[in-house]
Homo-oligomer: A and B are copies of this chain.
Amino acid sequence: MATTQQRTIYTGTFIHCTDLSKTEILTNTSIGVDEHGKIAFITPVDTLSGTLKSHSWDPAEIRHFPPAPNSSKNISFFFPGFLDTHIHASQHPNAGIFGKSTLLSWLETYTFPLEYSLSDPRTAEAAYSTCIHTTLAHGTTTAAYYATISVESTDILARLCRELGQRAFVGRCAMDNADFQPSYYCDADADTAIKASRESAESILAADPTGLVKPIITPRFALSCTEESLKGLASIAADLKIPIQTHISENLDEVALVARTFPGYSSYAHLYHNCGLLGPNTVLAHACHLSQEEVSLIHTTGSSISHCPASNTSLGSGLCPVRELLDQGVKVGLGTDVSGGYSPSILVAAREAGAVSRLRTAPGVETGIHSLSGKSLITTIATTTDNESSATTSEKQARDKLKLTVEETLYLATRGGAQCLGLEACVGGFEVGKEWDAQFIDLGAEIDAGYVLGGGSVGNVQVWKGMEWEERLAKWVYQGDERNVKAVWVRGRMVVDKVAVRA
């Protein structure tokens, strides 16, 4: 029941990550997007007219992007829209503000007071609309949002997503454990948490028959909830056939407290599993300190991990072992985790994912998946602080393997995120039948001898003459920002248009 739109032909260079290690670059290509916002065909420009005929598309009724043949010398390409698999829309105003706090003190000092203030609809409207405008401008076409405890405020977030055209999962935070939340910001009891969460989910479901904006069941995290509410929330998800999101193993103090608070379970993941929360539509954020048993359980149940590198760094939480998760077949996407993370940009998350993966190989850093008994890392990279380098070749290869390439982080930012959110058949890449969630990226003109700054650059990206696509993508990831995002579409609808502004 998507809105009917004008059929559109997009022409230029298309880049997407076909799998973790493979990036496809289609130059001189046209993609036809039909009246439902779906990709109808992908064809070389040369054979476009034949393709139109075979699809019975009338050239006179078709819109084109760019509107006229692109004569610009700028390096530009279409890229799948980013998926942010973990973002607290309600914390958007605080992005970048965290002092010296770690998770639990950060919640108390910065986060709960801000979220509570969003019970006021006017405040919620300002924070949420700014968040959505901002993330769309940065190329995020799909976001898995945490709202607040307030059903009304959560409804506002869902409405704004619909109005502004962002694909979203919107979750009302369930949190009924008074031991770990301030009394002013806590569900009265499990029953209240469950009822309010159901009410919120049903309201969001009813409001959008197109399914672009969906509810997501959101037990804030284990310590926020009681076993009763965790189980009740799992039932709602099963009943309404909607996904689940929560946090897992972000910080060691949190992990220790979970173990003490729920002594009946062998691990954090097993607690969730026993409450019925794990499954193919469950996204678990952070996962910095998982045991092998938990990773296996997450993999078996088909749950996925939202890797939030900027947040984990800012709060000193830990270094998520992304490579090992991927090697074991766990689905991994990227999350900004605003405002544990300071940036609303998934491009920054990709950059930081690369950084964290490289720091994991630095001397003095030993991270990985540990055994359930605790002490030993199963994946240990030998390191040394000796003046003699004792690393063997195989150790070095093991270290290099931990590093995520630019292309791999872009995969996580698109197709990886789509897998996490159950959207892999729908978005994340350019294939016939997928919906047109895309961004148009402009890296500016190439720099050559005689170049003067400002003469054709877009934002901070500086692509030098002779650079290959691999290097151009590296420039985008490491120097790019929202200025390079010239247009954004969700399900065929243009939701950001900076080209028009410029023209």
Given contacts A363-B252, A364-B319, A374-B386, contact A96 B451 (CB under 8 A): no
Which residues of B have CB within 8 Å of A389?
A: 252-253, 255-257
Are B479's CB and A95's CB within 8 A? yes
Are B315's CB and A358's CB within 8 A? yes
Are B385's CB and A377's CB within 8 A? yes
Which of B122, B125, B384, B464 meets A93, CB within 8 Å?
Answer: B464
Are A479's CB and B343's CB within 8 A? yes
The answer to whether the Cβ of A150 comes within 8 Å of any Cβ in the partner chain is no
Which residues of B have CB within 8 Å of A267?
A: 387
CB interface residues, A 17-57, toward B, < 8 Å: none
Which residues of B have CB within 8 Å of A324?
A: none
CB interface residues, A 412-460, toward B, < 8 Å: 447-454, 460
Are A403's CB and B97's CB within 8 A? no
Nearest CB of chain B from residue A342's CB, rounded to whole Å: 4
The answer to whether the Cβ of A388 comes within 8 Å of any Cβ in the partner chain is yes
Give Cα A125 to B134, complex, Å.
38
Which residues of B have CB within 8 Å of A319?
A: 359, 362, 364-365
Given contacts A130-B447, A449-B126, A460-B482, contact A359 B100 (CB under 8 A): no
Are A449's CB and B125's CB within 8 A? yes
Give Cα A370 to B384, complex, Å.
11
Which residues of B have CB within 8 Å of A386?
A: 374-375
What residue in chain B is nearest A451 (Cβ atoms)? B126
The answer to whether the Cβ of A226 comes within 8 Å of any Cβ in the partner chain is no
What residue in chain B is nearest A368 (Cβ atoms)? B364
| Per-residue contact bits, chain A 391-412, to B (CB 8 Å; 1 contact, 0 not) | 1000000011001010000000
Are A400's CB and B100's CB within 8 A? yes
The stretch among A168-176, A196-204, A233-241, A469-477 that forms the contact with chain B is A469-477
Give Cα A129 to B454, complex, Å.
12
Which residues of B have CB within 8 Å of A363?
A: 252, 288-289, 318, 367
Given contacts A405-B99, A460-B482, A464-B93, contact A359 B399 (CB under 8 A): no
Give Cα A468 to B462, complex, Å.
35
Nearest CB of chain B from residue A148's CB, rounded to whole Å: 16
Give Cα A424 to B387, complex, Å.
34
The answer to whether the Cβ of A275 comes within 8 Å of any Cβ in the partner chain is no
Are B462's CB and A95's CB within 8 A? yes
Are B449's CB and A122's CB within 8 A? yes
Are B462's CB and A384's CB within 8 A? no
Which of B137, B355, B365, B370 meets A385, CB within 8 Å?
Answer: B370
Are A364's CB and B362's CB within 8 A? no
The answer to whether the Cβ of A183 comes within 8 Å of any Cβ in the partner chain is no
The answer to whether the Cβ of A478 comes within 8 Å of any Cβ in the partner chain is yes
The answer to whether the Cβ of A366 comes within 8 Å of any Cβ in the partner chain is yes
| Per-residue contact bits, chain A 75-96, to B (CB 8 Å; 1 contact, 0 not) | 0000000000000000001011
The answer to whether the Cβ of A303 comes within 8 Å of any Cβ in the partner chain is no
The answer to whether the Cβ of A317 comes within 8 Å of any Cβ in the partner chain is yes
Are B314's CB and A134's CB within 8 A? no
The answer to whether the Cβ of A107 comes within 8 Å of any Cβ in the partner chain is no
Give Cα A313 to B360, complex, Å.
9
Are A481's CB and B462's CB within 8 A? no
Q: Besides A93-B462, A252-B389, A359-B359, 11 other CB < 8 A contacts?
A: A125-B449, A126-B448, A129-B452, A130-B453, A252-B384, A314-B358, A315-B358, A318-B363, A364-B368, A365-B365, A374-B385
**Chain A residues proximal to chain B, CB less than 8 Å:** 93, 95-100, 102, 122-123, 125-126, 129-130, 133-134, 137, 252-253, 255-257, 259, 267, 288-289, 312-319, 342-343, 351, 354-355, 358-368, 370, 374-377, 384-389, 391, 399-400, 403, 405, 447-454, 460, 462, 464, 471, 474-475, 477-479, 481-482
